[in-house]
Amino acid sequence: MKSYARYVRKNDDGELGIYPFEYLEYYEANLHPYHDFPLEDGNRRVYDGITVEEFYSRHGEGFWGLLQPFLRDERLMQLQSELEEEGKEVCMLNMCILAQFLVEKGKSRYMFLLKPNLSDTLSALKDVSRITFTNKDGSTVESSSSKLIEKVMEVLEKEKESDAMYCEVEKVVTWDKVSNNSIMQSCFVYDLTMFLNRYFPVKRKKDALVSTKEVELILYLMKLFELSAVELTNKRYWQLMKTNEEINTQLPGYLKHEETLIPLYFIPYSIWSKGKIDWRGKDLPISNIEVGMVVRL
């Protein structure tokens, strides 16, 4: 696979070689969303998903074994030559390492799954005929008194509005545990698109973010890194970009940092209890986290 002088550096032994983490370090410094949370002992920077440091620790010296099959890939070599004709000297070693990082980053975003609140509980009740009370010692008392049931339901209905201002987290999970694969794909497509646009600031036709050939590279890398079983179409690429746009603009629970959005996803019980989330259109989870609400972790 072709190499370019711009990526050659001296290693710790003074020998010249391709530096494989140029793209990764550029992404972390310029594109990886984060938020500085103020703490008593100073700010703590929290990144969206896995950090580069965590990525290094996870793989250690195993990068070469991970990437060897890709570096002999004829399609990557062909794409490299075609991108060079567009004025982009793409280092496929760097690109594969960045692709692996973006796959892991997308899967490692954290979500806060909320416990059911009063509204969730009441909406599940239909024509209640019996109530069970549990004592601290574990013993239970049941009642089928219609008057008692009526009074209890009446009180709960009155408390529903004020209870909505308090949320409690059931558990914290990574994005891939509750999302289908199209969400993972949309994150990967968007992140790699933004990288190519920023790192190679050449003019594209019609001022597009990336060229058609760059889209081919993105879709092929998605297949190589097992986010898709087959190489997807150009049309599917734009659908995934649209999905990512919907997520970034419609989901509440975001903190804005300069030009990036930092997701703090609080997913209501009524959404995550139904299984994996599609997150498109009407299926986008809508959290009711608002200013003044209390979230108990």
- Rounded to an integer, what distance in angstroms lies between the CA atom of residue 195 and that of residue 84? 17
Mark whether 24 and 135 lie in a shared domain.
Answer: no
Give the number of domains in the chain: 2
Asked whether residue 79 is domain-assigned, the answer is: yes
pLDDT below 50 — which residues of the chain?
Answer: 252-262, 291
Task: Confirm if 188 and 222 have CB atoms less than 8 A apart.
Answer: yes
User: Given this model, what pLDDT does residue 43 score?
Assistant: 64
Asked whether residue 90 is domain-assigned, the answer is: yes
- Rounded to an integer, what distance in angstroms lies between the CA atom of residue 297 and that of residue 284? 23
Asked whether residue 218 is domain-assigned, the answer is: yes
Tokens 């590279």 belong to residue: 217
User: Given this model, what pLDDT does residue 256 score?
Assistant: 46
- Rounded to an integer, what distance in angstroms lies between the CA atom of residue 160 and that of residue 11? 63
Structure token digits, residue 16? 């010249």
- Supply the DSSP symbol for 158: H
Mark whether 185 and 243 lie in a shared domain.
Answer: yes
Tokens 């996803």 belong to residue: 265
Mark whether 274 and 230 lie in a shared domain.
Answer: yes
pTM: 0.74
User: Given this model, what pLDDT does residue 211 score?
Assistant: 93
Paired residues of 239 in beta bridges: none
E strand or H helix at 172: strand 166-174
User: Given this model, what pLDDT does residue 260 score?
Assistant: 45
User: Given this model, what pLDDT does residue 252 score?
Assistant: 47
Closest CA to 189 of 267, 120, 125, 248: 248
Mark whether 155 and 194 lie in a shared domain.
Answer: no
Mark whether 157 and 238 lie in a shared domain.
Answer: no
Boundary of a domain, candidates 96, 131, 163: 163
Mark whether 68 and 127 lie in a shared domain.
Answer: no
Asked whether residue 8 is domain-assigned, the answer is: no
Mark whether 200 and 127 lie in a shared domain.
Answer: no
Dihedral pair phi/psi, residue 133, rounded to 5°? -105, 140
User: Given this model, what pLDDT does residue 259 score?
Assistant: 45
Structure token digits, residue 229? 């079983």
Mark whether 183 and 258 lie in a shared domain.
Answer: yes
Boundary of a domain, candidates 130, 163, 196: 163
Task: Confirm if 37 and 43 have CB atoms less than 8 A apart.
Answer: yes
Q: Which residues constitute the domain of residue 239?
A: 20-112+172-296
Mark whether 229 and 282 lie in a shared domain.
Answer: yes
